[in-house]
């Protein structure tokens, strides 16, 4: 058993406890959380804030070998071209980088990950990992005639990740045809748990393409030799086009949302869908040098979560770093709120809130120590240390 006393304990499910005490057993299960002196000489005194382990709802572990290989701030379309041209590598290099990335997340206090997969390379890594993973088998095809073939491959890949938690998901509005979305919807409607995680509105070019059939995406399809003669503009933003095509049975994570506006948010609210949002500010700045209008999403009734994206589009896999970027750009967003996004909200989306996300007796959420705060403001000196 270990007992920790800190300046503050943030259970997340309850008010912060000044000089709080957390006791855990040898397996990391919470025994108690209180403001009481346990009357034990084995208490470890800590300076800082103790909180649950972090949940990273959006990552691409298999792209870890691309760290520092993509030029930043050149926009999404150039990023996609670069990734497709360099993502293939020696299998040992891919595996070694993914193992290091998995360890980096563990060291940075992450306990659970929603991970996008286009191959089976990370299966043995996840089998040995100390982290909980949900693996998203991501499907692409903007050509209607390839919908069934692409879907069948994605289902086959998702099955390879079992008995681990996995599901089939669309990549984005611009890379999945309506025919393919219909196959995913039928699968989601007839499957007990098929979490969806969709890249959404990372660039204004995406909205321009769906509204007017103009912009850089025309060049992107031409670059990859994809004939989109069939596609007609919708006179609406991309997310408004795909929301009616999604299942209302499954939880849906819309990721990035860099160019999502208030009209989009209100449009989504009109539908009976289980929509969550994920912000990956480090990746947004790396790719587009632009942040989503995060304040628009607050108090709209949606579950808001945080992700790191991949090392191809970020400098580190650290949820605390994502929290710091948001606090720097949006000072009115409190540490308490950010901590909810980083812990319990991600656990709710992944369906693991019975074990992760809050400090409550009987749960195994992991335990982090955050130091270097200025009051409750994250600073460049703020660090996270994993306790359990």
Listing DSSP states for 295-352 in one string gives GGGTTSS-EEEE----TTS-S---HHHHHHHHHHH-TTS-HHHHHHHHTHHHHHHHT-
Share of the chain above pLDDT 70, in %: 99
212 touches 236 (CB < 8 A):
no
pLDDT computed for residue 27 by the predictor: 96
Confidence of residue 39 (pLDDT cuts 50, 70, 90): low
Confidence of residue 234 (pLDDT cuts 50, 70, 90): confident
CA 85 – CA 74 distance, rounded (Å)? 15
Could you report the per-residue pLDDT of 93-106, keeping only the tens digit for each?
Answer: 999 999 999 999 99
In this prediction, residues 180-194 reach a mean pLDDT of 97
Could you report the per-residue pLDDT of 252-273, keeping only the tens digit for each?
Answer: 999 999 999 999 999 999 999 9
In this prediction, residues 42-61 reach a mean pLDDT of 97
Helices (H), 213-261: 216-223, 238-242
pLDDT computed for residue 42 by the predictor: 86
Q: Do residues 208 and 302 share a domain?
A: yes
Query: Where does residue 299 rank: exposed (0-12), middle (13-18), buried (19+ CB within 10 A)?
Result: exposed
38 pLDDT higher than 70: no
37 pLDDT higher than 80: no
Q: Do residues 58 and 154 share a domain?
A: yes
Q: Do residues 131 and 223 share a domain?
A: yes
Lateral strand order in the sheet of 49-52: 17-18, 8-9, 49-52, 367-371, 383-386
Q: Do residues 184 and 316 share a domain?
A: yes
Q: Do residues 301 and 155 share a domain?
A: yes
Q: What is the CA radius of gyration of the chain?
A: 21
Q: Do residues 247 and 376 share a domain?
A: no
CA 385 – CA 366 distance, rounded (Å)? 11
CA-based diameter of the chain, in Å?
74
Structural domain containing residue 194: 54-356
Torsion-angle region of 178 (φ positive above 0: left; ψ -120 to 50: alpha; else: beta): alpha
**CATH code for position 27:** 2.30.40.10
Token pair for 259: 């160019």
Shortest CA distance to 3 belongs to which of 33, 20, 23? 23
Domain count, the chain: 2
Strands 17-18 and 8-9: antiparallel
Q: Do residues 160 and 113 share a domain?
A: yes
Q: Do residues 352 and 209 share a domain?
A: yes
Q: Do residues 246 and 120 share a domain?
A: yes
CA 276 – CA 246 distance, rounded (Å)? 13
Could you report the per-residue pLDDT of 8-35, keeping only the tens digit for each?
Answer: 999 999 999 999 999 999 999 999 999 9
**CATH code for position 314:** 3.20.20.140
Q: Do residues 170 and 229 share a domain?
A: yes
The helix or strand, by DSSP H or E, that contains position 332, with its residue range, turns out to be none
Q: Is 0.95 topped by the overall pTM? A: yes
182 pLDDT higher than 80: yes
Q: Do residues 329 and 371 share a domain?
A: no
Q: Do residues 75 and 34 share a domain?
A: no
Residue given tokens 């004939």 in the structure block: 227
Whether a cis peptide bond, with omega within 30° of 0, leads into 264 is no
In 60-153, which ranges are E strands?
Answer: 110-117, 132-139
């Amino acid at each position: 058993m270990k007992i920790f006393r800190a300046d503050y304990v943030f259970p997340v499910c309850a008010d912060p406890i000044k000089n709080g005490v957390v006791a855990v057993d040898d397996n990391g299960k919470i025994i108690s959380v209180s403001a009481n002196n346990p009357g034990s000489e084995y208490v470890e005194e800590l300076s800082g804030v103790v909180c649950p382990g972090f949940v990273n709802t959006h990552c691409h572990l298999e792209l870890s070998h691309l760290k520092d290989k993509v030029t930043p701030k050149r926009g999404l379309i150039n990023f996609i071209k670069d990734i497709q041209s360099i993502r293939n590598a020696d299998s040992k290099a891919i595996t070694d980088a993914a193992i290091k990335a998995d360890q980096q997340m563990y060291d940075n206090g992450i306990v659970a990950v929603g991970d996008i997969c286009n191959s089976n390379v990370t299966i043995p890594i996840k089998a040995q990992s100390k982290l909980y993973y949900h693996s998203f088998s991501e499907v692409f095809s903007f050509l209607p005639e390839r919908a069934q073939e692409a879907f069948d491959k994605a289902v086959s890949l998702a099955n390879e990740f079992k008995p681990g938690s996995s599901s089939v998901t669309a990549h984005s509005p611009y890379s999945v045809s309506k025919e393919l979305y219909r196959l995913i919807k039928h699968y989601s409607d007839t499957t007990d748990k098929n979490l969806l995680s969709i890249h959404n509105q990372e660039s204004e070019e995406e909205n321009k393409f769906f509204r007017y059939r103009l912009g850089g995406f025309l060049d992107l399809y031409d670059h990859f030799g994809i004939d989109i003669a069939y596609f007609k503009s919708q006179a609406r933003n991309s997310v408004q086009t795909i929301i009616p095509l999604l299942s209302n049975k499954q939880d849906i994570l819309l990721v990035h949302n860099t160019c999502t506006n208030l009209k989009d948010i209100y449009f989504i609210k009109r539908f009976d869908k289980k929509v969550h949002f994920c912000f990956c500010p480090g990746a947004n700045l790396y790719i587009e040098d632009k942040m989503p209008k995060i304040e628009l999403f607050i108090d709209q009734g949606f579950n808001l979560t945080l992700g790191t994206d991949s090392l191809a589009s970020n400098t580190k896999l650290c949820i605390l770093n994502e929290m710091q970027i948001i606090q720097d750009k949006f000072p009115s967003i409190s540490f308490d709120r950010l901590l909810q996004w980083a812990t319990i909200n991600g656990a709710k989306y992944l369906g693991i809130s019975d074990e992760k996300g809050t400090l409550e007796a009987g749960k195994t959420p992991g335990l982090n120590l955050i130091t270097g705060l200025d009051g409750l403001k994250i600073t460049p000196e703020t660090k996270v240390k994993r306790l359990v």
